[in-house]
Structure 1
Amino acid sequence: MRLLINIDVPDLPAAEALYSQAFGLTAGRRFGDGGVELLGAQAPIYLLQNPADSVAAADARRDYGRHWTPIHLDVVVEQLEPALDRALRAGMRQENRLREANWGRIVRLADPWGHGWCLLQFLGRGYDEISTN
């Protein structure tokens, strides 16, 4: 299986700049004015320009206000504080305090288009600290 990540945004140049600065991604292929491939993660991230209130799926319309979705992206980093600082300077918003657990540290962020993100720093054996297998 191959995984591709697609993120709808209303402003492609602003989203490309934000994600490149926040997470160190670089532009790959461009798809006219409607999309760009970002590289540097384990899977390519495709930013797709779609206007607010356009049809997304079935009867749902795109809303770029802060929203919750059962699918979100975690960005695993070596050191949380420098990564958080870079993300905030790029335009992300911090939504909670840094939280620590025996598996690592985490902080929630939101981008200007309502998408949720987490920065994650594994400690010790990471998720293996809590795995029951």
Structure 2
Amino acid sequence: MQFLLNLDVPDLDAAIDFYTRALGLRLSRRLFAGSVAELLGGPAPLYLLQQAAGSQACAGAQRDYRRHWTPLHLDFVVDDLEVACTRAEAAGARREQGIRSEAWGRIAVFADPFGHGFCLLQWQGLGYAEVSDTAERGA
């Protein structure tokens, strides 16, 4: 099975610029007459899909790029959280919470310029395995 990430954006060129500068992803190719950009550099391709604000997203819903909450968001694991935060903010991300420490590592919460939330994570120790409820903790 292959895993792909698709993210609607209102301005494809601005989104390419943001995600390449903020997270170090790289533009691989454009698809569908230039309306989709494939970004590589992470464990799964990120496809940016140009979709106009106000266009129909699904039955009864229209796309709105003001800051919004969604139960699905992107987390990016980084080696140096402070450096990654500085890079993301320089590219246009808005930090929504300060860095906080957890048993598994540290986290910073952001919004991209298109209203999508994302987090930067830096593992500590075994990462999420530090808080595992299963016997497979060391696996």
Normalized against structure 1, the TM-score is what?
0.98
Runs of 4+ in 1 over 4 A off after TM superposition: none
Is 2:133 the counterpart of 1:132?
A: yes
* Matched AA of 1:116: G
Q: Give SS of 1:22's match.
A: helix
- The Cα of 1:132 is off from its aligned counterpart by 1.1
**Residue in structure 2 matched with residue 122 of structure 1 by the alignment:** 123
Aligned length: 133
**Residue in structure 2 matched with residue 90 of structure 1 by the alignment:** 91
Unaligned runs of at least 5 residues, structure 2: 135-139
**Residue in structure 1 matched with residue 137 of structure 2 by the alignment:** none
| Counterpart Cα distance in 2 of 1:80 and 1:93 | 15
| 1:40-51 correspondence runs (5 A) | 40-51=41-52
* Matched AA of 2:97: N
| 1:105-116 correspondence runs (5 A) | 105-116=106-117
**Residue in structure 1 matched with residue 24 of structure 2 by the alignment:** 24
**Identity within the alignment, %:** 55
Unaligned runs of at least 5 residues, structure 1: none
**Residue in structure 1 matched with residue 7 of structure 2 by the alignment:** 7
| Counterpart Cα distance in 2 of 1:98 and 1:48 | 30
| Counterpart Cα distance in 1 of 2:119 and 2:108 | 6
**Residue in structure 1 matched with residue 66 of structure 2 by the alignment:** 65
